[in-house]
Structure 1
Amino acid sequence: MSIFQYYVASTVDGFIASEDDDLGWLLQFDQVEGVSGSYESFFAGVGCIAMGGGTYRWLLEHEPGKWPYPDTPCWVFTHHEYSAPAGSNVTFVRGDVREFAPDLLADAGDKNVWLVGGGDLVAQFANAGLLHEMIVTIIPVVLGSGKRLLPLKGPTPPLELLSSRILGGAAAELHYRMPPR
């Protein structure tokens, strides 16, 4: 059965980007042993992607002319007008995530839906009871402020730790199951 997963990197103090969406703190760890293998293993189980407009805009600005997910259906939740890159399978939507959840799962087929990037969209899925797992790679950097990992209004019940591992002696990958909400 397909599920909604949040696969993301976070600083030790719980931020996924600086206030101005800078990811330089993260990109310096791209070559750390185990990081790319972890991503490739995770992505092999992804059948559909959902992201917010800010993440989509960031990808267009930082990967000009190259869409990183050409063979994977991608749904962008946004209030802005965008066009899809050539060769992509991008659908733009507005509205409550619950409305589109069945379509996302259908697009995923027998794989999972990856909730990419911004914590705000993922928080909408969590608040709707649609976030099933979080796979968080903790990067050994402290930003002090920025975009929060998962900006929920209140605490969750305890998450269930499914697995943990050290990547290259620098990062820790934690795989959690979310409690029902």
Structure 2
Amino acid sequence: MSIFQYYVASTIDGFIATEDDDLGWLLQFDRVEGVNESYEAFMAGVGCIAMGGDTFRWLMKHEAGKWPYPGIPCWIFTHHEHGAPAGADITFVRGDVREFAPDLLADAGAKNVWLVGGGDLVAQFANAGLLHEMIVTIIPVVLGSGKRLLPLDGPTAPLELLSSRTVGGAAVELHYRLPGKAG
């Protein structure tokens, strides 16, 4: 059964980007042992991607016209008009995430839906009861402010820790199931 997963890196103080979407704090860890292996293992289970417009714009700016997810259907939740890179399987949508959830799951097939980046979009899925798992890699950096990991209005019930592991001797990957979600 396909599920919605939030796979993300966060600072120790709970931010996924600076206020101006700078990821330099994170990108310095790209070559750390174990990071690529973790990402590749996760991607093997991804059948569909959902992301917000801000994340899409960041990718288009920083990936120099190269689409990083070839062959994977991607849904962009946005209020703006965008063009898709050549060869990318992208659907642009506006509206409540609940409206599109069945289509995302159908596109994922037997695999999972990755909720990419943007904590705001992931919070919409969580508030709709559609977030099943969070895989958060805690990076040993403190930003002090920025874009929050998961900007919910209030606390959740305790999450169930499914696994944890050290990555590169300094970061920690935590895999959680949200309350009441079978995965």
Q: Tell me the secondary structure at the aligned position of residue 5 of structure 2.
A: strand
Measured against aligned partners, the alpha-carbon deviations of 1:35-69 in whole angstroms (never above 9, x if no partner) come to: 10000000000000000000000000000120001
Q: Tell me the secondary structure at the aligned position of residue 32 of structure 1.
A: coil
Give the superposition deviation at 1:180.
3.1
Q: What corresponds to 1:130 in structure 2?
A: 130
Mapped to 2, the partners of 1:167 and 1:175 lie a distance apart of: 13
Q: Superposed, which structure 2 residues align to 1:152-171 within 5 Å?
A: 152-171=152-171
Mapped to 1, the partners of 2:60 and 2:27 lie a distance apart of: 17
Q: What corresponds to 1:44 in structure 2?
A: 44
Q: What corresponds to 1:10 in structure 2?
A: 10
Q: What corresponds to 1:119 in structure 2?
A: 119
Measured against aligned partners, the alpha-carbon deviations of 1:3-52 in whole angstroms (never above 9, x if no partner) come to: 00000000000000000000000000001110100000000000000000
Mapped to 1, the partners of 2:34 and 2:126 lie a distance apart of: 28
Task: Name segments (4+ residues, structure 1) moved above 3 Å.
Answer: none
Q: Superposed, which structure 2 residues align to 1:84-103 within 5 Å?
A: 84-103=84-103
Q: TM-score, normalised by structure 2?
A: 0.98
Mapped to 1, the partners of 2:180 and 2:113 lie a distance apart of: 18
Percent of matched pairs sharing the same residue: 84
Q: How many residues align?
A: 181
- The one-letter code sitting in structure 2 at the alignment partner of 1:47 is G
- The one-letter code sitting in structure 1 at the alignment partner of 2:45 is G
Mapped to 2, the partners of 1:87 and 1:171 lie a distance apart of: 35
- The one-letter code sitting in structure 1 at the alignment partner of 2:60 is L
Segments of 5+ residues of structure 1 without an aligned counterpart are none
Mapped to 2, the partners of 1:32 and 1:70 lie a distance apart of: 24
Q: Tell me the secondary structure at the aligned position of residue 122 of structure 2.
A: helix
Mapped to 1, the partners of 2:91 and 2:180 lie a distance apart of: 28
Q: Which moved more, 1:61-70 or 1:152-161?
A: 61-70
Mapped to 2, the partners of 1:64 and 1:29 lie a distance apart of: 21
Q: TM-score, normalised by structure 1?
A: 0.99
Mapped to 1, the partners of 2:131 and 2:65 lie a distance apart of: 31
Q: What corresponds to 1:142 in structure 2?
A: 142
Root mean square deviation, CA, Å: 0.7
Mapped to 2, the partners of 1:109 and 1:145 lie a distance apart of: 38
Mapped to 2, the partners of 1:65 and 1:122 lie a distance apart of: 25
Segments of 5+ residues of structure 2 without an aligned counterpart are none
Q: Tell me the secondary structure at the aligned position of residue 60 of structure 1.
A: helix
